Structure 1
Amino acid sequence: MKAGMEVGQTATIEFEVTPDMFAGFEGNVVHRAYSTVSMVYHMEWASRQIILPFLEEHEEGMGGAVSIKHIAPTTDGTKVRVKATLTEIKNNIVITRTEAWNEKGLIGHGEVKQAILPKEKIIQMIADSKQDKE
């Protein structure tokens, strides 16, 4: 990991809610509103923006845990802003606090944990997992 990553750094992404972000299962829309699954994705994506400038060529970030609370609905066409703030670095583990907002206020918050690992280790872990299934 390159030097310079510090607690307090932030990254923000902004987007508009689209039908592919609606809550649904097996192709069936349950609610015409921003899904919790999409919120997890966007919180992970905002958190990843923090680590990207600090990855060495041989490294990659891998999700370790996500904990969120989705507290308010957001409908089609609504603009959403997700902010990640780096709260802790433990060796190769990076932890961020995340918040999602629409024009009415806070719609969700949580925490994302990422591990910075050598790409070769990730490839080996995937291969080992595949062998365990056989």
Structure 2
Amino acid sequence: MKSGMMVGQTASITAAVTPEMFAQFDGEVVHPVYSTVSMVYHMEWASRKIILPYLEEGEEGMGGAVSMKHIAPSGEGTSVTITATLTELRSNVVITKVEARNENGLIGVGEVKQVILPKEKINRMGQKGE
């Protein structure tokens, strides 16, 4: 991992809620609002943006844990902004606090843990099911 990553760094993504992001199971929409699954995906993506500039050529970030609370709904066409803030850096472990907001305010909070590992090790783990 390249040097320079520091506690306090932030990264954000913004997405407009589309029908593909609605809460659904087996292709059946449960309700036409931003799903928890989509929120977790966007939280991981915002967190990943923090580590990307610091990955060496043979490294990759791997999800280690996500904890989150989906606080409020967000309907189709709503703009959702997810911001990750680096709160802890221990060797190859990166922890971010994440907030999701729409035009009405806070809709989700969480924490994402990423582990930076050699790509070769990640590939071996996937092949062996370790």
Shared fold, TM over 0.5: yes
User: Counterpart in 2 of 1:30?
Assistant: 30
TM-score if structure 2 supplies the norm length? 0.99
Number of matched residues? 130
Deviations 1:17-46 (A, max 9, x none): 000000000100001000000000000000
User: Counterpart in 1 of 2:103?
Assistant: 103
Structural RMSD (CA)? 0.7
In structure 1, the gaps of 5 or more residues are none
Q: Which amino acid aligns with 1:29?
A: V
The whole-number CA distance in structure 2 between the counterparts of 1:44 and 1:25 is 21
The whole-number CA distance in structure 2 between the counterparts of 1:23 and 1:93 is 31
The whole-number CA distance in structure 2 between the counterparts of 1:23 and 1:127 is 32
TM-score if structure 1 supplies the norm length? 0.96
Quote the offset at 1:15 in angstroms.
1.1
| Percent of pairs with identical residues | 69
Runs of 4+ displaced beyond 2 Å: none
User: Counterpart in 2 of 1:120?
Assistant: 120
In structure 2, the gaps of 5 or more residues are none
Deviations 1:50-94 (A, max 9, x none): 000000000000000000000000000000100000000111000
The whole-number CA distance in structure 2 between the counterparts of 1:127 and 1:12 is 33
